[in-house]
Amino acid sequence: MATLGNPQKTIEIIQKYEFMFQKKFGQNFLIDTHVLDKIILAAGVTKEDCVLEIGPGIGTMTQYLAENAGHVVAVEIDSNLIPILKETLADYDNVTVIHDDILKVDINKIAQDYNGGRPIKVVANLPYYITTPIIMGLFEGGVPIDNITVMVQKEVADRMQVGPGSKDYGALSLAVQYYAEPYIVANVPPNCFMPRPGVGSAVIRLTRHKTSPVEVMEPDLMFRLIRASFNQRRKTLQNGLNNSPEVSFTKEQIIEAIEQMGLSPSVRGETLTLKEFAGLSNCFTQMKQ
């Protein structure tokens, strides 16, 4: 029976172990059972699933996950939390706690060792200071993933979900949408955490595409074009690509590719869809052949 998830129990554990919150680890623990229920439901966790939890903290969400999943692997960086997790997770025989930095762990190996290489689910109340490297690492590292359901800063959730025309649209939106279908499950106010974060939060689910939504011959080139376009937002696409150290095509080739795509010479990068970036990238690839 999950016992954590309310403020009293969290305070009790923290006092017992004289635990000091560490800002550098982005420690804001969830103290709202409704939010925990919503996360588990949105992730669609069942007894068939192997779940990777990033940053279990004192084990609040881990208890919920353990009750619903087949197996839970929880990776925590803070050594002060390890003895606490030993106590709070003592009743569960389907949880493995790994004391390590998630950015250094071989997650493919976790999927192999604990789920025979089949797709895992990732569920977390993420440490906000490393949201993007964690999510991009999971996608780019080719980890077999069913979905990623995570608490992130509200502003970051918005950036992942929007399309062209929004001020939040950028390289992160395109990178996430290339790999997955984003869906904002809930907005979560600061009073659902201890201590309260200075920003609003949201739970977002990223469901991995079974087949890519666009055909792109060189994804790496497409992402370079995307970064070049958004690094210089007020410039035209043509100037953005021309001035970027990441893009090595000549001015003539850039003009030709934009023309081949049927785009206006004065088009701005931030108006292009993922499909258009893929098409542009393929034009450049074909020029090289």
Annotated binding site for S-adenosyl-L-methionine: 28, 30, 55, 76, 101, 125
Smallest gap, in angstroms, from Cβ of residue 21 to ligand SAM?
Answer: 9
Residues ≥6 apart with Cβ < 8 Å to 282:
215, 216, 217
**102 forms part of the interface with ligand SAM (CB under 6 A):** yes
**75 forms part of the interface with ligand SAM (CB under 6 A):** yes
| Cα–Cα distance measured from residue 159 to residue 176, given in angstroms and rounded to the nearest whole number | 9
Most distant CA atoms of the chain, gap in Å: 68
**26 forms part of the interface with ligand SAM (CB under 6 A):** yes
Pick one of 125, 149, 242, 282: the residue that binds ligand SAM (CB under 6 A): 125
Residue numbers in the known binding site are 28, 30, 55, 76, 101, 125
The amino acid at residue 160 is: M
With contacts defined by CB under 6 A, name the span among 57-65, 168-176, 211-219, 249-257 that binds ligand SAM: 57-65
Q: Specify whether the CB–CB gap between 62 and 74 falls below 8 A.
A: yes
Selection from 65, 64, 97, 72 nearest residue 83 by Cα? 97
Smallest gap, in angstroms, from Cβ of residue 27 to ligand SAM?
Answer: 5
Smallest gap, in angstroms, from Cβ of residue 161 to ligand SAM?
Answer: 21
**61 forms part of the interface with ligand SAM (CB under 6 A):** yes
As given in the structure block, the two tokens for residue 163 are 């399309």
Residues ≥6 apart with Cβ < 8 Å to 232:
239, 240, 243, 244, 269
In this structure, what DSSP letter does residue 76 have?
E
Pick one of 49, 76, 158, 276: the residue that binds ligand SAM (CB under 6 A): 76
Q: Which residues bind ligand SAM (CB under 6 A)?
A: 25-30, 54-57, 60-61, 75-78, 81, 101-103, 125, 127, 130
